[in-house]
Amino acid sequence: MIRSMYSGISGMKNFQTKLDVIGNNISNVNTYGFKKGRVTFQDLVSQSISGASAPTGSKGGVNPKQVGLGSQLSTIDTVDIQGSLQTTGRTLDLAISGDGYFILTDGAMTTYTRAGNFYLDNAGDLVDANGNYVQGQSGNINIPLDAKSFSIGSDGTLSYIDSGGSLTTADQISLAKFSNNGGLEKVGSNNYRETTNSGAPTVDVPGGTNGAGTLVSGALEMSNVDLSEEFTDMIVAQRGFQANTRIITTSDEILQELVNLKR
């Protein structure tokens, strides 16, 4: 009797976590470069009532008798499938067509992102929305303040027209590729951090040998959250939560009947 109550509690906690992840997915449906999360469950330890027995000459085998003690959280995955590209027409909006990540640094820590909405600061350096420097083959990428115009190619080459009217190459944007994208740690602000399970990144230019992909200038990668899928999962999680509350309620009613036997 008590086992069923604790099983219901474990189920409620797990479905609450699932709802938390779904809520975060929906809140980031319009976040550039966002990768949705997914929750999976697994069963908890099972209590053995009796073990299995092998067949004998006169009797067949018997299966084990076990009572499960609930469920537990298995994984919270980052689903890193490509999001759709939205055309913006802005030169400094960059989308990655592939599995790579932009490399950012604030001088102390290196992070990685799929969000390519970049800007130029008052020194002409290419930065993200939080002021982190976008890394190229030579380090920070700089466009002279007197440049008349600039463009970014699919191979990450950033070229500009200088004050004399000559075409000059500033640098080439670098992309990082990981052996296990799901192992990256989210650190907020659309950024990820390398972990022991993501593997060390291989760094190359877009279209290079590391297979990170190519760049699309004037476009941004949208969130890969599918609202129809999220709302369906929300309904399933809500009903699962309600079903587990019924287990607790029913167990409590039976316990109440047992207590009333003494009257």
**For residues 8-25, average pLDDT:** 96
- Using CA of residue 106, residue 119, residue 185, residue 209, what is the dihedral sign? negative
Give the model's pLDDT for residue 58: 86
Q: Provide the percentage of residues in the chain whose pLDDT is more than 90.
A: 80
Return the structure tokens found at 88.
């913006």
What value does the mean pLDDT of the chain take?
A: 93
Close Cβ partners of 19 (under 8 Å, ≥ 6 residues apart): 234, 237, 238, 241
Per-residue model confidence as pLDDT tens digits over 163-187: 888 999 999 999 999 999 999 999 9
Number of neighbours of residue 139 by Cβ within 10 angstroms: 11
CA neighbor of 181 nearest in space, from 216, 215, 224, 138: 224
Number of neighbours of residue 175 by Cβ within 10 angstroms: 28
**Cα distances (Å, whole numbers) of residue 67 to 6, 71, 112:** 13, 12, 46
Q: What is the pTM of this model?
A: 0.89
pLDDT band (50, 70, 90) for residue 234:
very high
Per-residue model confidence as pLDDT tens digits over 60-116: 999 999 998 999 999 999 999 999 999 999 999 999 999 999 999 998 999 999 999
Task: Decide if 121 contacts 128 (C-beta within 8 A).
Answer: no
Rounded Cα distance, 20 and 135, in Å: 34
Per-residue model confidence as pLDDT tens digits over 23-74: 999 999 999 999 999 999 999 988 889 889 899 888 899 999 999 899 999 9
Rounded Cα distance, 24 and 65, in Å: 40
AA letter at 156: G
Residue 22 phi, psi dihedral angles, 5° rounding: -60, -45
Close Cβ partners of 173 (under 8 Å, ≥ 6 residues apart): 94, 102, 134, 135, 136, 141, 152, 156, 157, 158, 205, 206, 215
Return the structure tokens found at 1.
């009797």
